[in-house]
């Protein structure tokens, strides 16, 4: 039995580094341009693989040169490719990413072949953990989670990018729901989250689809909250020097699921994932910035008592 199944997107990330992100109607000049492996599914698969997980990755790429390049990049990042389907006549997914001098980003995604992902349920096999996001068709993700709940797996949804339909059809199938602050605000129907933790907790509990569900709210440099019907746990973030936040949330998701697949309790997995994400923002790119298990464990060992989560 494979420990972790991931369903998700694969993109070419076209990354332009700029001094400041453009405002509406504004043109800015790029300082550099790079091409990286990306897509939330691919990023999370790379993060999980580098965190030591045995996994299968279900995805689609285009029948083009970008698709060939993406396949080679996944293999180079030790992600199994046997469940990745080329789609003849379709272009591969692309993401156009602007990153400013503070490490903040602005992203526009062209789904390409990712929109054609049609899951063949009969080919799925039992697993401990199933992870998905929202850059591929929701009906395929519903089938994916339905099957893995039948297998008794832990289902983990990174409900990003935020899509209203997911709340009705996917939240009820999810054991662990991972959101950042803007995504939580979207699903709660407000512009931004309040600063008070009690108010945030109340909003989160209104999103819970069943009593066993956990919402993990990632708050960047402030850390992460794990919220249940009657509980709240806080994991502070490791101190870091931010260079590029692209893919840091994906790093968190992949690393967390890797640890859950190895049998960690959720609080242990969150601590590991938080440190992994803090390392990823110190490097350029998304998949290319995912740290290894050895690097994460070394960073955890070297953390001072003041920095240590928990």
**pLDDT tens digit string along 169-208?**
999 999 999 999 999 999 999 999 998 999 999 999 999 9
> Six-digit token pair at 305?
């008592």
39 located within any domain: yes
250 catalytically annotated: yes
The beta strand positions in 8-104, using DSSP E, are 11-17, 32-38, 55-62, 84-87, 93-99
Higher pLDDT, 147 or 109: 147
| Bridge partners of residue 35, in order along the sequence | 14
> What local confidence, expressed as pLDDT, does residue 304 receive?
58
On whether residue 60 sits in a domain, the answer given is: yes
pLDDT surpasses 70 at 308:
no
What's the pTM? 0.91
Mean pLDDT of 119-129: 83
Do the domain assignments include residue 310?
no
Quick check: is 277 in a domain? Answer: yes
Give tens-digit pLDDT for 21-80.
999 999 999 999 988 899 999 999 999 999 999 999 999 999 999 999 999 999 999 999
Question: Does position 297 have pLDDT exceeding 70, yes or no?
Answer: yes
Q: Give the total residue count for the chain.
A: 310
Is 294 inside a domain boundary? yes
More confident call, 124 vs 203: 203
- CA dist., res. 62 & res. 255, Å (int): 27
The reply to whether 308 falls in a domain is no
Q: For position 122, what pLDDT does the model report?
A: 65
Q: Is residue 124 part of a domain?
A: yes
- Which pairs count as long-range contacts for 105-108, CB under 8 Å and 24+ apart, including other chains? 105/21, 105/244, 105/245, 105/246, 106/21, 106/22, 107/246
Regarding beta strands 232-235 and 224-227, do their DSSP bridges make them parallel or antiparallel, or are they unpaired? Answer: antiparallel
Structural domain that includes position 88? 2-302
Q: Is 141's pLDDT higher than 70?
A: yes
- 242, pLDDT greater than 60: yes
| Catalytic residue, candidates 250, 264, 267, 284 | 250
Specify if 307 maps to a domain: no
Residue 220 has pLDDT above 90, yes or no: no
CB < 8 Å & 24+ apart, contacts of 24-28 = 28/98
**Helices vs. strands in the chain: H and E counts, helices first:** 9, 13
**CATH number of the domain within which 272 lies:** 3.40.1190.20
Cβ atoms of residues 201 and 195 within 8 Å = no
pLDDT at 257: 98
Helical H segments across the chain, by residue range: 40-50, 65-76, 138-150, 164-169, 181-188, 197-207, 248-261, 266-280, 293-302
Question: Encoding tokens for residue 101?
Answer: 């001098």
Q: Average pLDDT, whole number, for the chain?
A: 92
How confident is the model over 140-151, as a mean pLDDT? 96
Count up the domains in the chain and report the number: 1
Cα 243 to Cα 108, 210, 240, 251, 274, distances in angstroms: 20, 38, 9, 15, 16
> DSSP letter at 255?
H
């Amino acid at each position: 039995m494979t420990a972790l199944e991931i369903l998700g997107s694969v993109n070419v990330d076209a990354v332009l580094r700029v001094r400041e992100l453009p405002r509406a109607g504004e043109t800015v000049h790029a300082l550099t341009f790079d091409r990286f492996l990306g897509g939330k599914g691919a990023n999370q698969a790379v993060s999980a693989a580098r965190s030591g997980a045995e996994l299968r990755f279900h995805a689609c790429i285009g029948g083009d040169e970008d698709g060939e390049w993406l396949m080679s990049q996944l293999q180079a990042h030790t992600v199994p490719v046997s469940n990745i389907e080329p789609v003849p006549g379709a272009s591969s997914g692309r993401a156009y990413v602007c990153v400013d001098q503070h490490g903040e980003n602005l992203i526009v995604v062209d789904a390409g072949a990712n929109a054609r992902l049609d899951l063949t349920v009969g080919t799925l096999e039992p697993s401990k953990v199933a992870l998905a996001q929202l850059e591929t068709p929701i009906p395929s993700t519903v089938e994916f989670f339905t099957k893995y709940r039948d297998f008794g797996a832990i289902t983990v949804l990174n409900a990003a990018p935020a899509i209203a339909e997911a709340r009705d059809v996917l939240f009820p199938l999810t054991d662990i729901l991972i959101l950042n602050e803007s995504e939580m605000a979207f699903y709660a129907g407000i512009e931004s989250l309040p600063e008070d933790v009690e108010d945030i907790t109340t909003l989160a509990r209104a999103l819970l689809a069943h009593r066993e569900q956990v919402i993990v709210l990632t708050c960047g440099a402030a850390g992460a909250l794990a919220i249940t019907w009657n509980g709240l746990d806080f994991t502070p973030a490791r101190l870091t020097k931010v260079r590029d936040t692209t893919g840091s949330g994906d790093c968190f998701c992949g690393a967390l699921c890797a640890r859950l697949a190895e049998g960690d309790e959720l609080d242990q997995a969150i601590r590991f994932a938080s440190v992994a994400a803090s390392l990823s923002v110190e490097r350029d790119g998304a998949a290319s910035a995912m740290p290894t298990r050895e690097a994460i464990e070394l960073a955890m060992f070297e953390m001072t008592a003041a920095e240590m989560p928990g």
